[in-house]
Structure 1
Amino acid sequence: METRVLEYFLKVAQLGNVSKAARQLHVTQPNLSRQIQKLEKDLNVQLFERQSRLMVLTSAGKIFQERAKQIIDLSVKAQRDVLQENDLRGEIAIGCVESKIVQLLSQAIVNFQEIAPNVKFSLYDADCDDIREKIDNGLLDLGFLLAPVEAAKYEQLKLGMKDYWGIVVPDNSSWAQKKGLSLTELADLPLIVPRRTIVKEEIVSWLNHELNIVGSQNLLSNTLPLVMAGWGYAMCSAGSFVERPAAGLTFVPIQPAKEIDHLLIWRKNFVMTPAVKAFVKSIKEIDCM
């Protein structure tokens, strides 16, 4: 299956009209229609519902759209990686969680640009699970994550920068006046916790009984208005709140401190380009300073 045909499909899916897609792709409408029909025949599935002049994706078409986007992204990335083979150029795709680790990453990128000005960076903000999925699919080269991580299939570098757990509360809450929150006090509070099962299990292990969990979230930013509205208290790392501070809210750490390690991961048996190798080396040098 040619990537050209996938690009045709994606353009029709985006515009919902063969004529408009043909004009933007600089091909004839009959040729584009034949390509879409042949694609459906090869896949033995209907990708579009024809509605008057509209082309509407079927449920199978929506699934294929996501896969086609991934294939095109991988194709583009492969071309960039080949260009890097003998030189520090191209693009490094990095996933990073909401955390104070972004300070180390920012410094590393600025330093690296001085020695490798032809290298570009593509940054992706998400939680650990989303970043791991994109690394598994070859869409990201590296991931900066918070421990714990199911890391058996990854190479990993434990970084020296640590974070710690706490909760975000409204400024008018009695908890906002405290310098720290004990595990006993934490046990009965209505909590909005990270969605990752492995993190929930670790938090529960501190108390040895279930928490009062009212919801879960993958990124903190959309949860903060819910905290302000009184739905619950957001449990997060200190760094994730510092990176996205919000007026009227306060971060209260758990005491004694529950530290969180940071990891840099990449796929095992992943053939790094020279640029990625050099960047990982620069991360190690900064982390040891």
Structure 2
Amino acid sequence: MELKQLEIFAKVVEVQSFSKAAKELYVSQPTVSSNIVALEKEFEVKLFERTTKKVSVTKEGENFYRYAKEILEVSEELYYEFGKSYRQTERIVLAGSTIPSLYILPELVLKFQKKYPNVQFSIEQGDSSEVIQKVLSHQVAIGMVGQIKEDSRLCYIPFCRDKLVVITPVNNYYQELFRTDCTIKRFLEEPVIFREQKYGEKKEAELFLERYRITEEDLNVIAYMNDQEMIKRSVSCGMGISLISKRAAMDYAELGKIYIYEPDEEVSYRELYLVFEAKKKFDKLEKKFLDFTMETYKK
């Protein structure tokens, strides 16, 4: 058994493809296949179920993966400890749901790379359930989500707070509403644009309304949209109002394209979480990123 074989095996597990693993490791697909076969023969175990359409890891392969990652992480620590790295550039693989990937990670990655300039990031976006699945299938080391899916295999750490706000068009009518010091219920009598059902922020909006004893049926919903930029643009054009993340709304508000109504109540906040496998053993770089993230948002 060689470290290179374990690295190839781990990469196939993480990307769920022999060809993708070959591409990311800059080797040929036959090289990937031959190394996997060599491991299976040496340990007399079947690591993958192979079909013409996909590759899936076996139960024995899952256990083997955990040992392989431990060995690779220990070997990497040795290189760090003695002042060398066998990679020219280090890489951190992340995934985020909409708010973290669009409005948190760009700023966070920029700050991190100023401190660690040789680090590359691979970042994928999806809704919270998609991010969680990527974590569970070893495609990413760390995820950032706005919703928790209870699973004993996962660990969640709250790292910052988000706030739901009402956004409105910029015109005299809404300017007057703001002057009258009206309530959240009054704003929600206006035509409302809602996010599609699958998105975490839509579910958070529903919980938010529930705290005010308002249901979606009580609202004048004129459109459902699956993209925050589309929602902001539609609001700025005068189509209606919407409930969205304050982080997502700030760019349009600062440009004077929308107004923000910001409830003071605690119920308007939600937690954003770092998510990773409960048994995950992070390498030094991943630990640095986790520590850096917690330190950045500790306030």
Common fold by TM > 0.5? yes
The alignment yields a C-alpha RMSD, in angstroms, of 4.3
C-alpha separation between the residues in 1 aligned to 2:95 and 2:252? 17
Does the 8 Å contact 2:135/2:142 carry over to 1?
yes
Aligned-residue offset at 1:102: 7.2
For residues 48-76 of structure 1, give each alpha carbon's deviation from its aligned partner in whole angstroms, at most 9, with x where no partner exists.
xxxxxxxxxxxxxxxx5xx68xxxxxxxx
Deviations 1:146-166 (Å, cap 9, x if unpaired)? Answer: 3x433545312222x433221
Q: Are the equivalent residues in 1 in contact too, given 2:101–2:125 (CA < 8 A)?
A: no
Determine the structure 1 residue equivalent to 2:76: 85
CA contact (8 A) 1:183 1:255 kept: no
Say if 2:157 is the partner of 1:119: no
Instruction: Tell me the amino acid that sits aligned with residue 208 of structure 1.
Output: R
**Equivalent AA in structure 2 for residue 192 of structure 1:** I
Letter matched to residue 244 of structure 2: C
Deviations 1:1-28 (A, max 9, x none): 98249989xxxxxxxxxxxxxxxx9xxx
Instruction: Give, as a single letter, the amino acid of the residue that structure 2 aligns with 1:222.
Output: M
Any idea what SS the aligned residue of 2:194 has?
strand
1:287 maps onto 2:297 in alignment: yes
Return the letter of the residue paired with 2:208.
Answer: I
1:158 and 2:168 are equivalent in the alignment: no
Distance 1:154 1:248, change over 3 A: same
Alignment-derived partner of residue 46 in structure 2: none
* Aligned-residue offset at 1:280: 0.7
Aligned with 2:135: secondary structure?
helix
Structure 1 residue 236: deviation in Å? 0.4
* One of 232, 235, 244 as aligned partner of 1:227: 235
- 1:60-107 Cα deviation digits (max 9, x unpaired): xxxx5xx68xxxxxxxxx99x958833476311223445489776556
Which residue number in structure 1 is paired with residue 148 of structure 2?
Answer: 149
> How many Å separate the matches in 2 of 1:188 and 1:282?
43
TM-score, normalised with respect to structure 2 = 0.58
Matched with 1:252 is: 261
Q: Provide closer, same or farther for how the CA distance between residues 210 and 264 of structure 1 changes in structure 2, counting only shifts above 3 A.
A: same
Name structure 2 gaps, 5 residues minimum: 1-11, 29-49, 56-67
Say whether the 8 Å CA contact 2:232–2:249 is kept in structure 1.
Answer: no
Q: Structure 1: which 4+ aligned runs deviate by more than 6 Å? A: 5-8, 100-104
Asked whether the 8 Å contact 2:100–2:144 carries over to 1, the reply is no
Report the CA distance between 1:231 and its aligned residue.
3.8
Cα distance, 1:151–1:219 mapped onto 2, change above 3 Å = farther
1:110 and 1:199 map into 2 onto residues whose CA distance is 28
Question: Given the two structures, how large is their TM-score scaled by the length of structure 1?
Answer: 0.60
2:293 and 2:21 map into 1 onto residues whose CA distance is 37
Q: Which residue does 2:280 correspond to in 1?
A: 270
1:209 to partner: Cα distance: 3.6
Q: Which residue of 2 aligns with 1:57?
A: none
Aligned with 2:94: secondary structure? strand
Partner in structure 2 of residue 3 of structure 1: 18
Q: Which runs of 5+ in 1 are unaligned?
A: 9-24, 26-41, 45-63, 69-77
The residue identity in structure 2 corresponding to 1:278 is K
Please give the secondary structure, in 1, of the residue aligned with 2:207: helix
Report sequence identity in percent: 13
Could you tell me which residue of structure 1 aligns to residue 136 of structure 2? Answer: 136
Deviation, structure 1 residue 108: 4.7
Aligned partner of 1:193: which letter? F
SS in 2 for 1:234: strand
Give a deviation string over 1:161-188, Cα, whole Å, max 9, x none.
4332212221126234517762321443
Q: Is 1:157–1:264's contact at 8 Å kept on the other side of the alignment?
A: yes
Report the structure, 1 or 2, having the larger helix content: 2
CA distance in 2, matches of 1:125, 1:243: 20
**Structure 1 counterpart SS, 2:228:** coil
Quick one: structure 1 residues 139 and 186, their matched pair in 2 at CA, closer, same or farther if it must change by over 3 Å?
farther
Which residue does the alignment assign to 1:171?
Answer: 170
Whole-angstrom distance in 2 between the partners of 1:132 and 1:176 = 41
Could you tell me how far apart the structure 2 residues matched to 1:237 and 1:5 are?
Answer: 35
Report the alpha carbon displacement of residue 279 of structure 1 after superposing the two structures with TM: 1.2
In structure 2, what is the Cα distance between the partners aligned to 1:128 and 1:205?
A: 21
Letter in 2 for 1:3: F
Aligned residues: 228
